[in-house]
Amino acid sequence: MNESTSHPLKLFNSLTRELELFTPVHDGEARVYTCGPTVYNYPHIGNMRAYVFADLLGRTLSWKGYKLTHVINITDVGHLTDDADDGEDKLEKAAAERAQSIWDIAKHYTEAYWDDIKALNIRQPAHWSIATDYVPQMIDYAKGIADKHCYELDGGLYFDVSTIANYGSLARAATEDGEGRIDTVEGKRNAADFAIWRKTPEGETRQMEWDSPWGKGAPGWHLECSVMSEALLGLPFDIHTGGIDHREIHHPNEIAQNQAHSGCDHSGAHFWMHNNFLIDRAGKMSKSAGEFLRLQLLIDKGIHPLAYRLMCLQAHYRSELEFSWENLVAALTRLKRIVMGIERLKERLAASQNDKPLHPKVADIREQMDAAMSDDLNSCPVVPLLEHLLSLKKVDAAQRMDLLREMDLILGLNLETLTRADLRLHPKAASITETEIEQKLDLRQQAKADKDFAAADAIRDELIAQNVELMDGDPLRWEWSISI
Tell me how far, at minimum, the Cβ of 198 lies from ligand AMP, in Å.
Answer: 17
Asked if 227 touches Zn ion (CB under 5 A), the answer is: no
Residue nearest to ligand AMP (CB): 243
Q: State phi, psi for 225 to the nearest 5 degrees.
A: -70, -40
Identify which range of 21-29, 195-203, 210-218, 219-227 contacts Zn ion by CB under 5 A: 219-227
Minimum distance from residue 190 beta carbon to ligand AMP (Å)? 24
* Contact characters 273-312, ligand AMP, x per CB under 6 A: --x-xx-----xx---------------------------
Q: Of the ranges 35-43, 123-131, 150-158, 350-358, which one interacts with ligand AMP (CB under 6 A)?
A: 35-43
Q: Residues 466-474: contacts with CB within 8 Å, 24+ apart?
A: 466/430, 466/431, 466/432, 467/430, 467/431, 468/432, 468/437, 470/441
Site string for ligand AMP, 213-242 (x = CB under 6 A): -----------------------------x
Query: Nearest approach, Cβ of 246 to Zn ion (angstroms)?
Result: 7
Q: Where does this chain touch ligand AMP (CB under 6 A) — which range of 44-52, 204-212, 263-271, 414-422?
A: 44-52
Query: Shortest Cβ distance from residue 355 to Zn ion (Å)?
Result: 52
Binds 156: which of Zn ion, ligand AMP, none (CB < 5-8 Å by kind): none
For ligand AMP, which stretch binds (CB under 6 A), given 30-38, 62-70, 145-153, 211-219? Answer: 30-38
CA distance 126 to 123: 9
Give 190-222 as a DSSP string.
Answer: STT-EEEEEEPPTT---SS-B--TT-SEEE-HH
Size of the site for Zn ion (CB under 5 A): 2
CB 300 within 8 A of CB 428: yes
| Number of residues forming the site for ligand AMP (CB under 6 A) | 16
Q: Shortest approach of ligand AMP to residue 242 CB, angstroms?
A: 4
- Binding-site partner at residue 37 among Zn ion, ligand AMP, none, CB < 5 to 8 Å by type: ligand AMP
For residue 356, give every residue at least 6 positions away whose Cβ sits within 8 Å of its Cβ, in sequence order, or none. 396, 399
Q: Which of 12, 30, 49, 253 binds ligand AMP (CB under 6 A)?
A: 49
Q: Is 249 near ligand AMP (CB under 6 A)? A: no
State how far the Cα of 305 lies from the Cα of 115, in Å rounded to an integer: 11
d(CA 331, CA 349): 27
Using CB under 6 A, pick the residue from 32, 35, 94, 232 that binds ligand AMP: 35
Interacting span for ligand AMP (CB under 6 A) from 151-159, 270-278, 398-406, 444-452: 270-278
- Residue 189: phi and psi, rounded to 5, are -75, -35
Angle between helices 325-349 and 397-411 (to 10 degrees): 150
For Zn ion, which residue of 185, 225, 306, 312 counts as binding (CB under 5 A)? 225
* Beta carbons within 8 Å of 282's beta carbon, 6+ residues apart: none
Q: Give residue 353's region: left, alpha or beta (phi > 0; psi -120 to 50).
A: beta
Q: Which is nearer to ligand AMP, 37 or 156 (CB)?
A: 37
CB atoms within 10 A of CB 3: 6
In angstroms, give the least distance from the CB of 269 to ligand AMP: 15
Order of all β-strands in the sheet with 321-322: 283-284, 278-280, 321-322
Residue 225 contact among Zn ion, ligand AMP, none, beta carbon within 5 to 8 Å by kind: Zn ion
Nearer to ligand AMP, 38 or 69 (CB): 38
β-strand 18-21 against 150-153: which pairing, if any? unpaired
d(CA 295, CA 298): 5
Binding ligand AMP (rule: CB under 6 A), the pick from 183, 245, 402, 479 is: 245
Cα 43 to Cα 61: distance, rounded to the nearest angstrom: 26
In this structure, which long-range contacts are made by residues 307-312, counting pairs with CB atoms below 8 Å and at least 24 apart in sequence?
Answer: 307/331, 307/332, 307/335, 307/423, 308/45, 308/48, 308/120, 309/52, 309/120, 309/121, 309/412, 309/413, 310/334, 310/335, 310/383, 310/411, 310/413, 312/49, 312/52, 312/53, 312/278
Question: Residues 146-172, buried b or exposed e (16+ Cβ, 10 A)?
Answer: beebbeebebbbbbbbebbeebbebbe
Q: Which of 58, 217, 243, 412 binds ligand AMP (CB under 6 A)?
A: 243
Question: Do 123 and 55 contact (CB within 8 A), yes or no?
Answer: yes
Q: Is 260 in the site for ligand AMP (CB under 6 A)?
A: no
CB of 93 to ligand AMP, least distance (A): 14
* Cβ-based nearer residue to ligand AMP, 41 or 60: 41
Q: How far is the CB of 277 from Zn ion (least distance, A)?
A: 17
Pick 117 or 278: Cβ nearer ligand AMP: 278
- Binders of Zn ion among residues 7 to 36 (CB under 5 A) are 35
Residue nearer to ligand AMP on the CB measure, 246 or 316: 246
Q: Which residues bind ligand AMP (CB under 6 A)?
A: 35, 37-38, 46-47, 49-50, 242-243, 245-246, 275, 277-278, 284-285
Please report, as ranges, the residues that interact with Zn ion according to CB under 5 A: 35, 225
